[in-house]
């Protein structure tokens, strides 16, 4: 891995899933058997626009981020320039969380566990590819 560069974990044709930081293992489990590319970002600043641009031919992109959902939407849109894309941001919902626990409890409540991600990915990629 190189600082500031995304790692191409898997190549597929139906779309691209961007995994940021600690969500990689859940994303890999959730994408098992799906024909999608998986890009892993260890850092988002600087955001590696080039790798994303080169690996999103279909224009269907899902970003799984361990912080507020939609945080990287502007970076993603800027990366692909004027191309038409469909973007799904999955992350911490922009609502007040009222229950606490350990990291696994947090991920469950926010929909960041592999089974929850799998459902959202299957719905999103259902008619693509």
pLDDT truncated to tens, each residue of the chain (129 aa)? 777 899 999 999 999 999 999 999 999 999 999 999 999 999 898 999 999 999 987 789 999 999 999 999 999 999 988 678 899 999 998 877 777 788 888 888 888 999 999 999 999 998 665
Domains of the chain: 1-92 (3.40.50.920)
> Which helix (H) or strand (E) segment is 67 a member of?
strand 60-68
DSSP type of residue 97: -
| Calpha distance 84→117 (Å, rounded) | 24
Is the pTM higher than 0.75? The answer reads yes
Q: What integer pLDDT is reported at residue 128 of this predicted model?
A: 62
User: Which tokens in the block code for residue 26?
Assistant: 């859940």
Q: What integer pLDDT is reported at residue 54 of this predicted model?
A: 92
Strands 60-68, 86-92: parallel, antiparallel or unpaired by DSSP? parallel
Contact call for residues 27 and 48 (beta carbons, < 8 A) = no
């Amino acid at each position: 891995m190189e600082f500031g560069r995304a790692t191409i974990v898997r190549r597929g044709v139906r779309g691209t899933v961007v995994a940021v930081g600690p969500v990689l293992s859940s994303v890999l489990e959730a994408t098992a058997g799906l024909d999608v590319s998986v890009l892993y970002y260890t850092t988002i600043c600087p955001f590696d626009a080039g790798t994303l641009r080169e690996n999103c031919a279909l224009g269907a992109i899902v970003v799984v981020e361990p912080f507020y959902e939609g945080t990287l939407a502007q970076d993603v849109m800027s990366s692909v320039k004027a191309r038409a894309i469909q973007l799904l941001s999955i992350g911490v919902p922009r609502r007040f969380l009222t229950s606490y626990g350990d990291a696994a409890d947090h991920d469950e409540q926010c929909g960041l566990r592999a089974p929850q991600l799998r459902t959202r990915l299957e719905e999103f990629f259902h008619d693509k590819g």
